[in-house]
Amino acid sequence: MDHQIQVVRMMQDYIKDHINEDISIDTIAKEISYSASYARKIFIKHLGMTPAVYIRRLKLSKSALKLRDENCQILDVAMEMGFGSVDGYQRAFRREFGCNPKEYSTSPVPIWLFTPYLVEVKERKRDTMSETRNVFIQVIEKPARKVIIKRGIKADEYWSYCEEVGCDVWGLLTSIKSISGEPVCLWLPKHLRKPVTNEYVQGVEVEPDYSGIVPEGFETIDLPDSTYLLFRGEPFDPDNYVEAIGEIWDAEKKYNPEFIGYEWDDMNPRIQLEPIGERGYIELVPVKKL
Protein backbone atom coordinates (compact mmCIF):
# COMPACT_ATOMS: atom_id res chain seq x y z
CA MET A 1 0.00 0.00 0.00
CA ASP A 2 2.77 2.46 0.90
CA HIS A 3 4.44 1.67 -2.42
CA GLN A 4 1.23 2.51 -4.28
CA ILE A 5 0.90 5.81 -2.43
CA GLN A 6 4.46 6.74 -3.34
CA VAL A 7 3.71 6.03 -7.01
CA VAL A 8 0.49 8.08 -6.94
CA ARG A 9 2.33 10.96 -5.29
CA MET A 10 4.98 10.78 -8.03
CA MET A 11 2.17 11.07 -10.58
CA GLN A 12 0.62 14.04 -8.80
CA ASP A 13 3.97 15.80 -8.60
CA TYR A 14 4.59 15.21 -12.31
CA ILE A 15 1.15 16.58 -13.23
CA LYS A 16 1.69 19.67 -11.06
CA ASP A 17 5.08 20.40 -12.64
CA HIS A 18 3.82 19.91 -16.23
CA ILE A 19 0.24 21.17 -16.01
CA ASN A 20 0.76 23.61 -18.90
CA GLU A 21 1.83 20.77 -21.17
CA ASP A 22 -0.13 18.10 -23.03
CA ILE A 23 -0.17 15.33 -20.41
CA SER A 24 -1.51 11.82 -20.89
CA ILE A 25 -1.43 8.69 -18.75
CA ASP A 26 1.08 7.23 -21.21
CA THR A 27 3.39 10.22 -20.69
CA ILE A 28 3.12 9.96 -16.92
CA ALA A 29 3.57 6.18 -16.86
CA LYS A 30 6.70 6.42 -18.99
CA GLU A 31 8.12 9.09 -16.68
CA ILE A 32 7.63 7.00 -13.54
CA SER A 33 8.56 3.69 -15.25
CA TYR A 34 5.27 1.85 -14.71
CA SER A 35 2.68 0.54 -17.13
CA ALA A 36 -0.14 2.90 -18.04
CA SER A 37 -2.78 0.39 -16.92
CA TYR A 38 -1.19 -0.05 -13.47
CA ALA A 39 -0.64 3.70 -13.01
CA ARG A 40 -4.25 4.45 -13.96
CA LYS A 41 -5.61 1.70 -11.67
CA ILE A 42 -3.85 2.85 -8.50
CA PHE A 43 -4.52 6.52 -9.28
CA ILE A 44 -8.27 5.81 -9.35
CA LYS A 45 -7.98 3.65 -6.23
CA HIS A 46 -6.38 6.38 -4.10
CA LEU A 47 -7.89 9.56 -5.59
CA GLY A 48 -11.31 8.42 -6.80
CA MET A 49 -10.94 9.73 -10.35
CA THR A 50 -9.02 8.96 -13.49
CA PRO A 51 -5.79 10.83 -14.25
CA ALA A 52 -7.56 12.41 -17.24
CA VAL A 53 -10.33 13.88 -15.07
CA TYR A 54 -7.78 15.05 -12.48
CA ILE A 55 -5.68 16.78 -15.16
CA ARG A 56 -8.70 18.39 -16.82
CA ARG A 57 -10.06 19.77 -13.53
CA LEU A 58 -6.65 21.11 -12.55
CA LYS A 59 -6.18 22.77 -15.96
CA LEU A 60 -9.67 24.35 -15.77
CA SER A 61 -9.01 25.75 -12.28
CA LYS A 62 -5.66 27.17 -13.37
CA SER A 63 -7.35 28.74 -16.40
CA ALA A 64 -10.06 30.30 -14.22
CA LEU A 65 -7.45 32.13 -12.11
CA LYS A 66 -5.77 33.31 -15.30
CA LEU A 67 -9.07 34.69 -16.60
CA ARG A 68 -9.72 36.37 -13.25
CA ASP A 69 -6.32 38.03 -12.90
CA GLU A 70 -5.10 38.69 -16.44
CA ASN A 71 -6.42 40.50 -19.49
CA CYS A 72 -6.31 37.54 -21.86
CA GLN A 73 -8.33 36.05 -24.69
CA ILE A 74 -10.43 32.92 -24.21
CA LEU A 75 -8.76 31.40 -27.29
CA ASP A 76 -5.28 31.94 -25.85
CA VAL A 77 -6.21 30.39 -22.51
CA ALA A 78 -7.88 27.40 -24.19
CA MET A 79 -4.81 26.71 -26.33
CA GLU A 80 -2.36 27.26 -23.47
CA MET A 81 -4.23 24.75 -21.32
CA GLY A 82 -4.20 22.16 -24.10
CA PHE A 83 -7.86 22.17 -25.13
CA GLY A 84 -8.38 21.35 -28.79
CA SER A 85 -10.90 24.11 -29.45
CA VAL A 86 -12.54 27.11 -27.82
CA ASP A 87 -15.92 25.35 -27.96
CA GLY A 88 -14.52 22.32 -26.13
CA TYR A 89 -12.92 24.55 -23.51
CA GLN A 90 -16.12 26.54 -22.99
CA ARG A 91 -18.19 23.39 -22.56
CA ALA A 92 -15.71 21.93 -20.09
CA PHE A 93 -15.54 25.20 -18.14
CA ARG A 94 -19.32 25.42 -17.89
CA ARG A 95 -19.62 21.79 -16.76
CA GLU A 96 -16.98 22.34 -14.07
CA PHE A 97 -18.02 25.75 -12.75
CA GLY A 98 -21.56 26.38 -13.99
CA CYS A 99 -20.72 29.53 -15.95
CA ASN A 100 -19.26 30.57 -19.30
CA PRO A 101 -15.55 31.53 -19.27
CA LYS A 102 -16.25 34.77 -21.12
CA GLU A 103 -18.86 35.79 -18.57
CA TYR A 104 -16.52 34.78 -15.76
CA SER A 105 -13.59 36.79 -17.12
CA THR A 106 -15.82 39.88 -17.35
CA SER A 107 -17.43 39.47 -13.94
CA PRO A 108 -15.70 36.87 -11.72
CA VAL A 109 -17.86 35.22 -9.10
CA PRO A 110 -16.87 32.69 -6.41
CA ILE A 111 -16.51 29.24 -7.99
CA TRP A 112 -15.46 25.88 -6.61
CA LEU A 113 -11.90 25.54 -7.90
CA PHE A 114 -10.34 22.09 -7.85
CA THR A 115 -7.70 21.92 -5.12
CA PRO A 116 -6.41 18.35 -5.24
CA TYR A 117 -5.57 16.39 -2.14
CA LEU A 118 -1.95 15.25 -2.22
CA VAL A 119 -1.70 11.69 -0.94
CA GLU A 120 0.60 11.58 2.05
CA VAL A 121 3.71 9.45 2.00
CA LYS A 122 3.72 8.01 5.52
CA GLU A 123 7.47 7.58 5.74
CA ARG A 124 8.40 11.25 5.73
CA LYS A 125 11.95 12.16 4.86
CA ARG A 126 12.88 13.24 8.36
CA ASP A 127 16.58 13.15 7.57
CA THR A 128 16.07 16.05 5.14
CA MET A 129 15.27 18.36 8.08
CA SER A 130 18.58 19.57 9.47
CA GLU A 131 19.05 19.78 13.23
CA THR A 132 19.62 23.53 13.07
CA ARG A 133 17.13 25.50 10.99
CA ASN A 134 16.38 29.19 11.02
CA VAL A 135 13.08 30.90 11.77
CA PHE A 136 12.77 34.43 10.39
CA ILE A 137 10.66 37.02 12.23
CA GLN A 138 9.51 40.40 11.00
CA VAL A 139 6.95 43.01 12.02
CA ILE A 140 4.24 43.66 9.45
CA GLU A 141 1.17 45.89 9.37
CA LYS A 142 -2.16 44.67 8.06
CA PRO A 143 -4.84 47.16 6.99
CA ALA A 144 -8.47 47.20 8.07
CA ARG A 145 -10.32 44.57 6.06
CA LYS A 146 -13.23 42.19 5.83
CA VAL A 147 -12.69 38.45 5.86
CA ILE A 148 -15.15 36.11 4.16
CA ILE A 149 -15.18 33.00 6.36
CA LYS A 150 -16.81 29.62 6.66
CA ARG A 151 -17.47 28.62 10.26
CA GLY A 152 -17.71 25.16 11.75
CA ILE A 153 -18.72 24.08 15.23
CA LYS A 154 -15.86 22.32 17.04
CA ALA A 155 -12.78 22.57 14.81
CA ASP A 156 -9.61 23.99 16.38
CA GLU A 157 -7.08 23.14 13.65
CA TYR A 158 -6.86 22.23 9.95
CA TRP A 159 -7.68 18.52 10.02
CA SER A 160 -10.65 18.78 12.37
CA TYR A 161 -11.91 21.68 10.22
CA CYS A 162 -11.64 19.58 7.04
CA GLU A 163 -13.48 16.70 8.68
CA GLU A 164 -16.28 19.00 9.81
CA VAL A 165 -16.58 21.57 7.01
CA GLY A 166 -14.78 19.94 4.08
CA CYS A 167 -11.40 20.46 2.43
CA ASP A 168 -12.99 21.77 -0.79
CA VAL A 169 -13.78 25.11 0.91
CA TRP A 170 -10.22 26.16 0.05
CA GLY A 171 -10.96 25.96 -3.67
CA LEU A 172 -13.91 28.33 -3.38
CA LEU A 173 -11.90 30.77 -1.27
CA THR A 174 -9.04 30.68 -3.78
CA SER A 175 -11.43 31.82 -6.50
CA ILE A 176 -12.17 35.05 -4.58
CA LYS A 177 -9.54 37.71 -5.24
CA SER A 178 -7.76 38.49 -1.98
CA ILE A 179 -6.01 41.69 -0.93
CA SER A 180 -3.27 39.47 0.51
CA GLY A 181 -2.95 37.28 -2.58
CA GLU A 182 -4.22 34.01 -1.10
CA PRO A 183 -6.75 32.54 1.33
CA VAL A 184 -5.94 32.35 5.02
CA CYS A 185 -6.70 30.16 8.02
CA LEU A 186 -7.59 31.97 11.25
CA TRP A 187 -7.73 31.13 14.93
CA LEU A 188 -10.47 33.52 16.02
CA PRO A 189 -10.32 35.28 19.42
CA LYS A 190 -13.35 34.75 21.63
CA HIS A 191 -15.14 37.97 20.71
CA LEU A 192 -15.21 36.94 17.03
CA ARG A 193 -16.71 33.52 17.70
CA LYS A 194 -20.37 32.77 18.11
CA PRO A 195 -21.74 30.76 21.04
CA VAL A 196 -21.93 27.56 19.01
CA THR A 197 -19.14 28.03 16.46
CA ASN A 198 -15.51 27.08 16.39
CA GLU A 199 -12.17 28.81 16.85
CA TYR A 200 -10.46 27.75 13.60
CA VAL A 201 -11.87 28.94 10.26
CA GLN A 202 -10.77 29.37 6.67
CA GLY A 203 -11.37 32.64 4.86
CA VAL A 204 -10.22 35.23 2.36
CA GLU A 205 -9.26 38.84 3.14
CA VAL A 206 -11.00 41.47 1.00
CA GLU A 207 -11.37 45.25 0.99
CA PRO A 208 -13.32 46.74 3.92
CA ASP A 209 -15.96 48.03 1.48
CA TYR A 210 -16.28 44.69 -0.34
CA SER A 211 -19.68 44.45 -2.02
CA GLY A 212 -19.19 41.29 -4.07
CA ILE A 213 -20.90 37.94 -3.65
CA VAL A 214 -20.62 36.16 -0.31
CA PRO A 215 -21.21 32.44 -1.03
CA GLU A 216 -24.10 30.70 0.66
CA GLY A 217 -23.10 29.40 4.09
CA PHE A 218 -20.29 31.96 4.41
CA GLU A 219 -20.26 35.30 6.22
CA THR A 220 -18.00 38.31 6.68
CA ILE A 221 -16.22 39.62 9.76
CA ASP A 222 -14.51 43.00 10.08
CA LEU A 223 -10.92 43.21 11.26
CA PRO A 224 -9.18 46.48 12.19
CA ASP A 225 -5.74 47.58 11.04
CA SER A 226 -3.32 45.61 13.19
CA THR A 227 0.30 44.67 13.76
CA TYR A 228 1.63 41.14 13.39
CA LEU A 229 4.84 39.24 13.90
CA LEU A 230 5.38 37.10 10.82
CA PHE A 231 7.16 33.82 11.63
CA ARG A 232 8.60 32.04 8.57
CA GLY A 233 10.59 28.83 8.53
CA GLU A 234 13.09 27.66 5.94
CA PRO A 235 11.89 25.81 2.82
CA PHE A 236 10.94 22.20 3.51
CA ASP A 237 10.17 18.98 1.69
CA PRO A 238 6.36 18.78 1.27
CA ASP A 239 6.32 15.42 3.06
CA ASN A 240 7.83 17.11 6.12
CA TYR A 241 5.06 19.70 6.54
CA VAL A 242 4.20 18.50 10.07
CA GLU A 243 7.76 19.09 11.23
CA ALA A 244 7.85 22.46 9.46
CA ILE A 245 4.71 23.60 11.28
CA GLY A 246 6.10 22.32 14.57
CA GLU A 247 9.24 24.43 14.10
CA ILE A 248 7.16 27.60 13.90
CA TRP A 249 4.92 26.69 16.82
CA ASP A 250 7.98 26.04 18.98
CA ALA A 251 9.49 29.39 17.93
CA GLU A 252 6.27 31.24 18.78
CA LYS A 253 6.14 29.70 22.25
CA LYS A 254 9.75 30.66 23.00
CA TYR A 255 9.69 34.18 21.57
CA ASN A 256 9.15 37.17 23.87
CA PRO A 257 7.87 40.18 21.87
CA GLU A 258 8.78 42.51 24.74
CA PHE A 259 12.34 42.46 23.39
CA ILE A 260 11.14 44.69 20.52
CA GLY A 261 8.54 46.71 22.44
CA TYR A 262 5.41 44.60 21.84
CA GLU A 263 3.12 42.21 23.68
CA TRP A 264 0.77 39.54 22.33
CA ASP A 265 -2.62 40.83 21.20
CA ASP A 266 -5.54 38.54 22.05
CA MET A 267 -8.11 40.72 20.26
CA ASN A 268 -6.98 39.82 16.73
CA PRO A 269 -6.81 36.39 15.09
CA ARG A 270 -3.67 34.38 14.61
CA ILE A 271 -3.21 33.66 10.89
CA GLN A 272 -1.92 30.56 9.13
CA LEU A 273 -0.89 30.52 5.47
CA GLU A 274 -0.95 27.44 3.29
CA PRO A 275 2.15 25.29 3.95
CA ILE A 276 4.14 25.60 0.70
CA GLY A 277 7.51 23.92 0.79
CA GLU A 278 9.36 26.34 -1.49
CA ARG A 279 8.69 29.37 0.70
CA GLY A 280 8.70 27.82 4.16
CA TYR A 281 5.81 27.59 6.59
CA ILE A 282 4.35 30.97 7.65
CA GLU A 283 2.18 32.12 10.55
CA LEU A 284 1.25 35.64 11.65
CA VAL A 285 0.77 36.28 15.37
CA PRO A 286 -0.95 39.55 16.43
CA VAL A 287 0.91 41.96 18.71
CA LYS A 288 0.40 45.46 20.11
CA LYS A 289 2.72 48.15 21.39
CA LEU A 290 3.62 48.04 25.07
Query: With 90 as the cut, is the pLDDT of residue 201 above it?
Result: yes
Q: Where residue 210 falls among pLDDT bands split at 50, 70, 90?
A: very high
Paired with 233 in beta bridges are 135
**Mean pLDDT for the chain overall:** 91
CA dihedral 128, 129, 130, 134 (to 10 degrees): 140
CA dihedral 135, 137, 143, 146 (to 10 degrees): 30
Per-residue confidence (pLDDT) for residue 125, from 0 to 100? 47
d(CA 42, CA 7): 8
Per-residue confidence (pLDDT) for residue 127, from 0 to 100? 47
Name the architecture of domain 128-289.
Answer: Alpha-Beta Barrel (3.20)
| Fold classification of 2-106 (topology level) | Arc Repressor Mutant, subunit A (1.10.10)
62: left (phi over 0), alpha (psi -120 to 50) or beta: alpha
Mean pLDDT of 139-150: 97
Per-residue confidence (pLDDT) for residue 1, from 0 to 100? 60
Per-residue confidence (pLDDT) for residue 200, from 0 to 100? 95
Query: With 90 as the cut, is the pLDDT of residue 60 above it?
Result: yes
Query: With 80 as the cut, is the pLDDT of residue 130 above it?
Result: no
Q: Where residue 206 falls among pLDDT bands split at 50, 70, 90?
A: very high
Mean pLDDT of 149-169: 91
82: left (phi over 0), alpha (psi -120 to 50) or beta: left
d(CA 175, CA 7): 30
- List all residues 6 or more positions away from 279 whose beta carbon is below 8 Å from its beta carbon: 232, 235
d(CA 72, CA 87): 17
Per-residue confidence (pLDDT) for residue 27, from 0 to 100? 92
Per-residue confidence (pLDDT) for residue 252, from 0 to 100? 96
Q: pLDDT tens digit string along 23-42?
A: 999 999 998 889 999 999 99
Q: pLDDT tens digit string along 239-273?
A: 888 899 999 999 999 999 999 999 999 999 999 99
Q: pLDDT tens digit string along 94-105?
A: 999 999 999 999
Q: What is the SS3 assignment for 243?
A: helix
d(CA 198, CA 153): 5
Q: Where residue 131 falls among pLDDT bands split at 50, 70, 90?
A: low
Domain range summary for the chain, segments of one domain joined by +: 2-106, 128-289
144-148, 159-163, 208-212: segment of lowest average pLDDT:
159-163
Burial of 268 (0-12, 13-18, 19+ CB in 10 A): buried
Per-residue confidence (pLDDT) for residue 167, from 0 to 100? 86
Using alpha carbons, select from 137, 148, 141, 146 the residue that is nearest to residue 217: 148
First to last CA, the chain: 54
Query: With 70 as the cut, is the pLDDT of residue 129 above it?
Result: no
The model carries a pTM of 0.85
